[in-house]
Amino acid sequence: MESIFTYYNKLAASYDENRFANSYGKFIHQQEISYLNETLNKKNTKYTLDLACGTGRLLQFAKYGVDNSPNMINIATRKYPNHNLQVSKGESLPFKNSFFKQVYSFHLFMHLEINHFSQILNEVGRTLEKGGTFTFDFPSKSRRKITRYKAASWHGGSQIGTSDIHKIIKNNWELVNYRGVAFFPIHHFPTKLRKHLLKLDNFLCRSIFKQFSSHLIFTLSKK
């Protein structure tokens, strides 16, 4: 089975077009951008890290970025030549203790085992100042329980719920916010209808039913 590193390193050149140039990718991108716009402090971008930044899709919110793929970092560097971008694993970040005020990471933990998430969470906590925030996403356990979805490989293999988050963070973090992404199975809708569903989808992703969205975005604050 091809490893996550090999897969994304090979996909780097076509990643943007492959994943986010279509109507489904744009739908997801808009919801993630909206959450970051609402959650992140724009004055702190100088001390913000995009963990698993890929080709730089969300680097307008940070001055620092790391990714395990050299090919992804090369592309991101061409887009953002004045950013500090490095090849690095999330379990061993090349930054000082309490350096950042904000860290965010998208489309990473869905591919990793929960124990890897815990390791990276500890490392992020080391690099964040007290009161700093960590924003990340996971496939929703509640949604997958209903749909009986099972990943065939590491690609999208992980899932989590709010109860799991509380068990993992213990006394080191506080869950301050979360919302859903893609409440509707948007990939099953005709392309022409997708953009018209965005407003309603956003409403449901913030409602009492948000845990049943396809993915969940969480924001933790370091105690």
Phi and psi at residue 217, in whole multiples of 5°?
Answer: -105, 125
Question: Could you give the CA distance from residue 52 to residue 150 in angstroms, rounded to a whole number?
Answer: 24
For position 153, what pLDDT does the model report?
A: 63
pTM confidence score: 0.94
When the pLDDT of each residue in the chain is averaged and rounded to a whole number, the result is 92
Alpha-carbon gap, residue 182 to 163, rounded angstroms: 21
pLDDT score, position 187: 87
Cα separation, 125 vs 172, whole angstroms: 8
Predicted confidence at residue 152, as pLDDT, reads 65
Q: Lowest mean pLDDT: which of 14-18, 74-78, 87-91?
A: 14-18
pLDDT of 1 higher than 60: no
The Cα 47–Cα 61 span in angstroms is 10
Bigger pLDDT: 69 vs 8: 69
pLDDT of residue 149: 78
Q: How confident is the model at residue 2 (pLDDT cuts 50, 70, 90)?
A: low
Report the alpha-carbon distance of residue 135 to residue 179 in Å, rounded.
11
Is residue 183 within 8 A of residue 205, CB to CB? The reply is yes
Tens of pLDDT along 100-117?
999 999 999 998 888 899
The answer to whether 13 and 74 are in contact (CB under 8 A) is: no
Each residue of 129-178: pLDDT tens digit?
999 999 999 999 999 999 887 776 666 678 899 999 999 998 899 999 99
**4-60 tens-digit pLDDT:** 778 888 888 888 888 898 888 999 999 999 999 999 998 889 999 999 999 999 999
pLDDT score recorded for residue 113? 86
Distance, C-alpha 175 to centroid of its chain: 16
